[in-house]
Structure 1
């Protein structure tokens, strides 16, 4: 490779300029960009004038590279390499992620910000803080996936990849890296775990044998008959309950760190209460009737929140023997209590979230309206119900035709008899 043999003054002229070669009888320029040796034929015959032109073009390219303004496609629009090289700015991942974090934090709560920050730091450390974003390839992201899954659970890896994909999408939109990197953050397929609802017999055992305190019996009854998420259940306040109309306003959830945020969907919702849930609320409200109100802060995101003065509906202080204790249950404390109740009841251990699945499955097997159940549970629509709880919907299918036919006959008879 290199210069082909030429004669006369052309060789002397060519010797004056570095990075100018002859290839296939035409001039070719050579330059380094992003640690890659680039060679581009100009399609010009070897003349003194063309050699000087090539030298000036190379000098312009080197200037653009030095000032971070070089665009491969602009200088070589017809090159087969133009689509392979990004016109991204030369920025290091470590610097970019520190710029991205405060911009992302505007839309999330402080605790979520911490989780995102940890995930981003891990991914950037594995890829390399000093790597230039503009030279990253989908292969680098695939290598990151492979390294993450070696020592972490698929659910954890998927969280990291989703967070990193958001960062890469921001880099793409701002021209710091080539397009397609965010799409390379493919999540790992996870085995779908079917809901494992309580049977009515198991629920009865929980209430009668597992619960030692009226607060526990009322809390589990409320969880099963409302389908609240555990974080929503533990964040309930007396002020959220309206016994006159049989409703609960779900306006907040509590995090593992004991901070408050808006519900998972970001929207408040109203849950209509069945009779067992109303009775459970009456018990819980009676237990905390003398408890003082607590000032809490509920975060919408890092920069938006509201302050509330409310009375915890479900408080560890009711049964606690210690002097210093949290006034609200957090996930770890509730998980511990739930596990002890199951153990005393002698039923198969489940996660606390299964009380939410129990509500959905009981409602579906009772032929509840899908749209109503989805609204009660805080879903956008009933698509998730169909996907997650199809088995419980199918359980009633043998009698469904009879029910529909009876309804049609009643409507027909009513119209005939008018």
Structure 2
């Protein structure tokens, strides 16, 4: 069989599309045709490209007329760049450009928010017409929490900031502004650690040693579930009893990814129970190498934290009769245990990968207080002006004794 003829500036992009490229006004442009790259179609597209080059040469090429659905048309329009561009179209192109810049888990979250926005009337607003009032009116209609609204506005704010850099907008309507609904004071918070009885019940309810090892390791290291999934035997320093934490693996990610912050890269001290759990796990997966914790049903590494949450974790809590909380609460349990025991705050923050003590204080403040129940009493004892009657009498007697002694001493010197 003969080879398919090659045409300049024309190539097969996939089994269902053909791409052409050409230079217009000093910029390289690429456009895609949604047709199969058969010899006949390649020839047809090559002729179309030749016609484009001819109109460019004669200075009569109109990008918007030739490619009315292309994002590139806005670059060369005589109208403002954002004229006719809807928010939904811009967000779609923006998130596509971000695919190589964002972590898989972050990208997945952004895509969900953009897909949701583009199903609403907000997505149909022209980009150049977008005002705070549009976002405010949309937010008012939502029954979601302020935390969720903040996440949505954060994504939208970032996209609009890039629109300024792309010269599609002159200003960001969301800069320095955030909408919040009035919310009732929460009677509970997201920090809901397990107590000692619950912790032991969960471990006892694990029907497989690998599950018990993994959960006990989680309780005594404070690692995020994504960090535990990505942990490898090569990350363990047996001499120092430490684990190097420098990556995490979430459900959307195809492979482990580095953490979001520099402080999350850390060496975690392996306390006794964590070290013992690791030693037991060593007899199960060490010879295989790679990941420390694997799915015992398949022998393969966990693909993400979702499989653990929906599988062995939920089953263990159900058998133990413990109220359900997500696996992330093992991290909160670790923090509450360390704080209640009075361990140094700086050391706990380093163990957990917090950038500073503010996160620790803000999230676990009530455990910090209970860690030293007599806090402040030393100051009271030293400086308080309030004394009991007996204490006042004792002080007065001591002062009288001092005065009498000083008087006698003065008479002796006079004599």
Q: How does the TM-score come out when normalised to structure 1?
A: 0.63
CA contact (8 A) 1:165 1:185 kept: no
Pick from 291, 298, 303 the counterpart of residue 312 of structure 1: 291
**Offset, 1:155:** 4.6
Contact 1:219–1:314 (CA under 8 A) maintained in structure 2: yes
- Aligned equivalents of 1:325 and 1:221: distance in 2? 20
Residues 125 and 181 of structure 1: is their aligned pair in 2 closer, same or farther, counting only changes over 3 Å? farther
Q: How far does the alpha carbon of each residue in 1:311-365 deviate from its partner, in whole angstroms, 9 at most, with x for none?
A: 121111x2x1xxx674225222211311211222222222111110011111111
Paired residues for 1:173-212 under 5 Å: 173-177=165-169, 179-183=171-175, 184-186=177-179, 191=186, 193-207=189-203, 209-212=204-207
* Equivalent in the alignment of 1:236: 231
Change (3 A) 1:331 1:194: closer
Q: CA shift at 1:130, angstroms?
A: 5.4
- Verify: 1:122 aligned to 2:116, yes or no: yes
5 Å matches for 1:18-417? 67-68=78-79, 89-90=82-83, 92=85, 93-127=87-121, 131-147=125-141, 149-150=142-143, 155-177=147-169, 179-183=171-175, 184-186=177-179, 191=186, 193-207=189-203, 209-257=204-252, 259=254, 260-265=256-261, 267-291=264-288, 293=289, 311-316=290-295, 318=296, 320=297, 326-328=300-302, 330-335=304-309, 336-401=311-376
Q: Is the 8 A contact 1:169 1:181 kept in 2?
A: no
Cα contact 2:88–2:124 (8 A) shared by 1: yes
1:404–1:199 CA distance, 2 compared to 1 (3 A) = farther
8 Å Cα contact 1:237/1:312 also seen in 2: yes
- Residue 169 of structure 1: CA displacement? 2.0
SS in 2 for 1:253: coil
Quick one: distance in 2 between partners of 1:219 and 1:143? 47
Aligned residues: 297
Matches of 1:277 and 1:388, distance apart in 2: 24
CA RMSD across the alignment: 2.9
Distance 2:200 2:272 in 1: 16
Displacement of 1:107: 2.3
Q: Distance in 2 between matches of 1:130 and 1:396?
A: 54
The answer on whether the counterparts of 1:196 and 1:357 sit within 8 Å (CA) in structure 2 is yes
Distance 1:263 1:157, change over 3 A: same
Q: Quick one: distance in 2 between partners of 1:118 and 1:270?
A: 34
Structure 1 pair 189–361 and aligned structure 2 pair: CA distance change class (3 A): farther
Q: CA shift at 1:111, angstroms?
A: 4.5
**Structure 2 gap ranges (5+):** 1-76, 381-415
What are the Cα deviations for residues 32-83 of structure 1, in whole angstroms up to 9, with x where unaligned? xxxxxxxxxxxxxxxxxxxxxxxxxxxxxxxxxx9436xxxxxxxxxxxxxx
Kept in 1: contact 2:104–2:252 (CA 8 A): no
Judged with a 3 Å threshold, the aligned counterparts in structure 2 of structure 1 residues 173 and 264 are, in CA distance, closer, same or farther, namely: closer
For residues 194 and 101 of structure 1, the distance between their equivalents in structure 2, rounded to whole angstroms, comes to 30
Structure 1, unmatched stretches of 5+, are: 1-65, 70-87, 294-310, 406-418
Instruction: Report the Cα distance in structure 2 between the residues aligned to 1:104 and 1:206, rounded to whole angstroms.
Output: 41
Equivalent in the alignment of 1:12: none
Q: Equivalents in 2 of 1:146, 1:345: separation in Å?
A: 42
Identify, as 1 or 2, the structure richer in strand.
1
